[in-house]
Amino acid sequence: MPFGKKEAEAKSVDISTDICGIHFPNPFVLSSATPTMHAENVKVGIDAGWGGAVLKTLFPAEHSRVYARPRFKVFWLKDQPGYPQHIPRSYTITCIEDASDLSPEDYEKDVNEAKRLVGENGVVIASIMASDMETWEKYMDLINGTKADMVELNFGCPYAGEPGTKEEGPMLGWKLMQMCEDVVRLGKRKLAIPFSPKVSSQVGEVDIWAEKLEKAGAPCLTLSHRISGIWIDIEKARPYPFGSITGFGGPYLIGFSLKWVAKSRRKVQVPIMGNMGVYDWQDVVRFIMVGADVVQSCSAVMIQGYDIVKAWRAMLTKFMEEHGYSSLKDMKGIALPYIVAADKVERGAPGIYAVVNEDKCTGCGICKRTCFHFAMELIPPNNKARVNLKKCAGCGLCAELCPVDAISMQKLANLDLYPRSKPYHRYFPYTGPP
Ligand SMILES: Cc1cc2nc3c(=O)[nH]c(=O)nc-3n(C[C@H](O)[C@H](O)[C@H](O)COP(=O)(O)O)c2cc1C
Ligand code: SF4
Ligand code: SF4
In a domain, 5, yes or no: no
* pLDDT value, residue 329: 97
CA diameter of the chain: 82
User: What gap in Å lies between CA 368 and CA 239, rounded to an integer?
Assistant: 38
300 Cα: distance to centroid of ligand 1 (angstroms): 11
Using only the alpha carbons of the chain, give its radius of gyration. 25
Three-state SS for 110?
A: helix
Average pLDDT of span 314-336: 98
User: What gap in Å lies between CA 308 and CA 304, rounded to an integer?
Assistant: 7
Q: Are residues 366 and 219 in the same domain?
A: no
- Which atom of ligand 2 is closest in space to residue 363's alpha carbon? 5
366 lines ligand 2 (CB under 6 A): yes
Region class of 338: left (phi > 0), else alpha (psi between -120 and 50), else beta: alpha
* pLDDT value, residue 249: 87
Residue 210 sits at φ, ψ, to 5 deg, of -60, -45
* pLDDT value, residue 245: 83
* pLDDT value, residue 160: 59
Average pLDDT of span 213-239: 94
> Which residue, judged by its Cα, is nearest atom 2 of ligand 3?
395
246 pLDDT exceeds 90? no
Q: Are residues 362 and 310 in the same domain?
A: no
Average pLDDT of span 290-308: 98
411 pLDDT exceeds 80? yes
415 — pLDDT class (breaks 50, 70, 90):
low
Please choose, from the candidates 18, 16, 15, the residue with its C-alpha nearest in 3D space to the C-alpha of residue 194: 18
Most confident of 21-25, 238-242, 245-249, 348-352: 21-25
Q: At what angle do helices 254-265 and 206-216 cross, to 10 degrees?
A: 40
The predicted-structure confidence for 108-119, as pLDDT tens digits, reads as follows 999 999 999 999
Three-state SS for 270?
A: coil
352 lines ligand 3 (CB under 6 A): no
Average pLDDT of span 303-327: 98
Average pLDDT, the chain: 89
Q: At what angle do helices 177-190 and 133-144 cross, to 10 degrees?
A: 30
Average pLDDT of span 215-244: 93
375 lines ligand 3 (CB under 6 A): yes
User: What gap in Å lies between CA 264 and CA 258, rounded to an integer?
Assistant: 10
The residues facing 53 across adjacent strands are 30, 124
Identify which has the larger pLDDT, 98 or 89: 89
Give the residue from 338, 370, 389 where a domain finishes: 338
First and final CA of the chain: distance in angstroms?
42
394 lines ligand 3 (CB under 6 A): yes
| CA dihedral sign of residues 261, 248, 213, 137 | negative
32 Cα: distance to centroid of ligand 1 (angstroms): 5
82 pLDDT exceeds 70? yes
- Which atom of ligand 3 is closest in space to residue 387's alpha carbon? 5
227 lines ligand 2 (CB under 6 A): no
Q: Are residues 147 and 85 in the same domain?
A: yes
Give the ligand whose atoms come closest to the C-alpha of residue 287.
1
Q: Are residues 312 and 360 in the same domain?
A: no
Give the ligand whose atoms come closest to the C-alpha of residue 371.
3
140 — pLDDT class (breaks 50, 70, 90):
very high
> Which residue, judged by its Cα, is nearest atom 1 of ligand 2?
402
51 and 24 Cβ atoms separated by less than 8 Å: yes
> Which residue, judged by its Cα, is nearest atom 4 of ligand 3?
392
Three-state SS for 233?
A: strand
User: What gap in Å lies between CA 387 and CA 375, rounded to an integer?
Assistant: 6
The residue range of the domain holding 414 is 346-427
Is there a cis peptide before residue 25, judged by omega within 30 degrees of 0? Answer: no
Q: Are residues 422 and 282 in the same domain?
A: no
Three-state SS for 427?
A: helix
Average pLDDT of span 257-273: 98
> Which residue, judged by its Cα, is nearest atom 21 of ligand 1?
298
Residue 410 sits at φ, ψ, to 5 deg, of -130, 150
CATH number for the domain that contains residue 225:
3.20.20.70
Exposed e or buried b for every residue in 20-52, given b needs 16+ CB within 10 A?
Answer: eebebbbbbbbbbbbbbbbbebbbbbbebbbbb
In a domain, 353, yes or no: yes
173 and 202 Cβ atoms separated by less than 8 Å: yes
In a domain, 12, yes or no: no
258 lines ligand 1 (CB under 6 A): no
How is the chain split among helix, strand and coil, in percent rounded to 5?
35, 20, 50
367 Cα: distance to centroid of ligand 3 (angstroms): 8
* pLDDT value, residue 342: 93
354 lines ligand 3 (CB under 6 A): yes
Q: Are residues 153 and 213 in the same domain?
A: yes
In a domain, 186, yes or no: yes
Q: Are residues 161 and 230 in the same domain?
A: yes
* pLDDT value, residue 433: 42
Share of the chain above pLDDT 90, in %: 73
**Residues recorded for the chain:** 434
* pLDDT value, residue 109: 98
User: What gap in Å lies between CA 164 and CA 274, rounded to an integer?
Assistant: 30
Q: Are residues 236 and 378 in the same domain?
A: no
**pTM higher than 0.85 for the full model?**
yes
* pLDDT value, residue 98: 83
370 Cα: distance to centroid of ligand 1 (angstroms): 38
Average pLDDT of span 416-434: 41
> Which residue, judged by its Cα, is nearest atom 6 of ligand 3?
398
368 and 388 Cβ atoms separated by less than 8 Å: no
> Which residue, judged by its Cα, is nearest atom 4 of ligand 1?
33
Give the residue from 290, 309, 338 where a domain finishes: 338
244 pLDDT exceeds 90? no
Give the residue from 317, 338, 359 where a domain finishes: 338
- Which atom of ligand 1 is closest in space to residue 100's alpha carbon? 8
Per mean pLDDT, which range of 130-139, 187-196, 363-372 is the poorest? 130-139
277 and 254 Cβ atoms separated by less than 8 Å: yes
366 Cα: distance to centroid of ligand 3 (angstroms): 12
Q: From the CB of residue 419, how many other CB atoms can be counted at a distance below 10 Å?
A: 8
Three-state SS for 278?
A: coil
Q: Are residues 146 and 191 in the same domain?
A: yes
* pLDDT value, residue 16: 98
Average pLDDT of span 159-174: 49
Residue 345 sits at φ, ψ, to 5 deg, of -70, 135
The residues facing 379 across adjacent strands are 384
Region class of 297: left (phi > 0), else alpha (psi between -120 and 50), else beta: beta
In a domain, 129, yes or no: yes
- Which atom of ligand 1 is closest in space to residue 275's alpha carbon? 23
Average pLDDT of span 345-353: 80
Which DSSP category does 20 fall into? T
Please choose, from the candidates 36, 301, 268, 271, the residue with its C-alpha nearest in 3D space to the C-alpha of residue 148: 36
In a domain, 88, yes or no: yes
CATH number for the domain that contains residue 408:
3.30.70.20
174 pLDDT exceeds 80? no
19 lines ligand 2 (CB under 6 A): no
Average pLDDT of span 155-161: 70
In a domain, 21, yes or no: yes
246 lines ligand 1 (CB under 6 A): no
Q: Are residues 309 and 383 in the same domain?
A: no
71 pLDDT exceeds 50? yes
50 pLDDT exceeds 70? yes
How many domains does the chain fold into? Answer: 2
Q: Are residues 169 and 204 in the same domain?
A: yes
300 lines ligand 3 (CB under 6 A): no
Average pLDDT of span 317-323: 97
407 Cα: distance to centroid of ligand 3 (angstroms): 10
7 — pLDDT class (breaks 50, 70, 90):
very low
Q: Are residues 298 and 382 in the same domain?
A: no
Average pLDDT of span 257-272: 98
404 lines ligand 2 (CB under 6 A): yes
389 lines ligand 3 (CB under 6 A): no
* pLDDT value, residue 248: 87
